[in-house]
Amino acid sequence: MKLKTRIVISFFVIILVPVLLTGVTFCSMMHMELQTIGKEYGIENPTYENLINNTLMLNKMTESDFDEVRQKAEEDSKKLEDTEYLNTLNKRLLTEHSFLVVRKDDEIYYKGSSKINDNSVLATLPAYGDTSAASDSTIYLRSKEQAIVRQADFLFSDGSKGSVFIITYADQMIPQVKNLMVATMVVIVLILAATSLLMSLWIYRGVVTPINQLKRATQNIREGNLDFSVEPSGAQEVKELCQDFEEMRLRLKESAEEKISFDSDNKELISNISHDLKTPITAVKGYVEGIMDGVADTPEKMDRYIRTIYNKANEMDRLINELTFYSKIDTNRIPYTFSKIHVSDYFEDCVEEMNLELEAQGIDLTYFNYLEEDTVIIADAEQLKRVINNVVSNSIKYMDKPRGVINIRLRDVGDFIQVEIEDNGKGIAQKDLTKIFDRFYRTDASRNSLKGGSGIGLSIVKKILEDHGGKVWATSKEGVGTVMYFVLRKYQEVPADE
């Protein structure tokens, strides 16, 4: 889920959830308070209107007391002259946030609250015989302080006109309503706090937790430790960041492993080249010392010594060139000069050049060309020659027969020409065939050490052929020999009108 979506969801949750929870909680609390009010004030079947309408609630609370007062006024008015009775009644009314006032003619006979002024009360109370006094309705006095008044008229024992009033100030609020309001406010605050906390934790886990994971990952990388993993988690944007970071870590690890492998390969190459250079240098020094000491005392010996020195120098030059070419492979800077090559003429020249050297080493070279005479390829003549020389040199190096044989065959395979170079050497085990084109791969370490070589000849062959759009592979039988195959695409003229 995207971070933007999380924030939008959190926004609506923080608004809607508190509203819904507060509504449910408020309704539950109102129901409980109604039951409490009904029991405490003797209200039968209290309704939500009793809580919502404060005036109605206050009026309802004094209903039973007013019924009692009205009954006394009609049947036993002397009770309303009894101060002790009035005090008892007033005490009960005070618990209901009301008080009692009794008027005799135009004077206050009894008042249940010391906070009121006699004159102000007399001025605002309805007159004796008011039509509303004969009904069950409530009179609302709109003076400085609004009040709810219930009035019952009667006659004193001396014939004076009397009125008994139950007065309740309209601004009074019953404890249950106060408790409900306070509890509602507390619930709203708690719900808002809990909702905000949960949403904050949700966003925190979606952002900060994976960021902490990335922080630990950067510390591992800084300390050189790449053997860990970053699990994608959290918001979509952060998850994508974690995935990118994990991909970066894998690439860094791969680069580090490649560097270790590269350093190891370089060390091995230097070791191989050093070993291979030491042999011809020792030979050159030996023959030069022989000339200096006068050992080559005949023209024939002198010629043989000089030729040997020349051959050894060529061998060293070849090794140095191979090392230089190896560095170009790693930097992808092999210099190619592609041109059209007439295949038959090119390979005839190569075979003629190699034949002289192979005869001197007692190896028979045969050449078979099954291509059409005009077959042409696009290739770098110098690098293609390097391919052929490396393959042939490899065959010579591991020739174990008294009379070696190398066959070169050219075949037509559709859009490609196929070159086959076959020898009758020791052969290669099947498990090694797929690896012989890897740099520095040794099928036989002891044999490699004895025979010499940098160990990159066939990897150079593979690289050059791939850069030409071709490929190379081999088949072999141990004790019988090996056949190296490589293919190159033919050059075909495209008509101008196509």
Judged by average pLDDT, the poorest of 372-386, 426-440, 459-473 is 426-440
Confidence check: pLDDT of 15 > 80:
no
Confidence of residue 74 (pLDDT cuts 50, 70, 90): confident
User: Cα 180 vs. chain centroid, distance in angstroms?
Assistant: 48
Report which of 223, 222, 239 is spatially closest to residue 231, judged by C-alpha positions.
239
Confidence check: pLDDT of 131 > 70:
no
Q: What is the C-alpha separation between 46 and 21, in angstroms, rounded?
A: 24
Token duo for residue 256: 């580090």
Higher-confidence residue of 52 and 301: namely 301
CATH classification code of 340-489 = 3.30.565.10
Higher-confidence residue of 201 and 269: namely 201
pLDDT, position 449:
41
Cα distances from 294 to residues 285, 289, 298, 299, 307, in angstroms, run 14, 8, 9, 12, 17
Out of 3.40.50.720, 1.10.40.30, 1.10.240.10, 1.10.287.130, the CATH code matching 226-333 is 1.10.287.130
Angle at 310 between CA 305 and CA 313, to 5 degrees: 125
Confidence check: pLDDT of 290 > 60:
yes
Number of Cβ within a 10 Å radius of residue 273: 21
CATH classification code of 53-172 = 3.30.450
**Same CATH topology for 53-172 and 340-489?**
no
Q: What are phi and psi of 164, to 5 degrees?
A: -110, 130
Confidence of residue 339 (pLDDT cuts 50, 70, 90): very high
Confidence check: pLDDT of 298 > 90:
no
Report which of 95, 93, 128, 96 is spatially closest to residue 109, judged by C-alpha positions.
128
Q: Is 167 helix (H, G, I), strand (E, B) or coil?
A: strand
pLDDT, position 450:
43
pLDDT, position 42:
58
Cα distances from 249 to residues 211, 234, 246, 261, 387, in angstroms, run 16, 19, 5, 18, 38
Confidence check: pLDDT of 423 > 50:
yes
Tens-digit pLDDT profile for residues 307-326: 889 888 887 887 787 777 77
| Range 423-426 contact pairs with CB under 8 angstroms and sequence separation of 24 or more | 423/395, 423/399, 423/481, 423/482, 423/483, 424/399, 424/480, 424/481, 425/395, 425/398, 425/399, 425/400, 425/401, 425/481, 425/482, 426/398, 426/399, 426/400, 426/478, 426/479
pLDDT, position 410:
96
Domain assignments of the chain as residue spans, ordered by start: 3-49+177-210, 53-172, 226-333, 340-489
Q: What is the mean pLDDT of the chain?
A: 81
Judged by average pLDDT, the poorest of 78-92, 146-160, 232-246 is 232-246
Q: Is 38 helix (H, G, I), strand (E, B) or coil?
A: helix
Mutual orientation of helices 457-467 and 299-330 as an angle, nearest 10°?
50
Residue type, 321: N
Confidence check: pLDDT of 181 > 80:
no
Higher-confidence residue of 183 and 138: namely 183
Tokens 């080249």 belong to residue: 273
Confidence check: pLDDT of 374 > 60:
yes
Percent of the chain with pLDDT over 70: 81
pLDDT, position 134:
46
Report which of 147, 104, 90 is spatially closest to residue 124, judged by C-alpha positions.
147
Q: What is the C-alpha separation between 252 and 263, in angstroms, rounded?
A: 16
Q: What is the C-alpha separation between 381 and 341, in angstroms, rounded?
A: 7
Residues with Cβ within 8 Å of 456's Cβ and at least 6 positions away in sequence, in order, are 269, 322, 326, 329, 439, 440
Confidence check: pLDDT of 444 > 70:
no
Confidence check: pLDDT of 59 > 80:
no
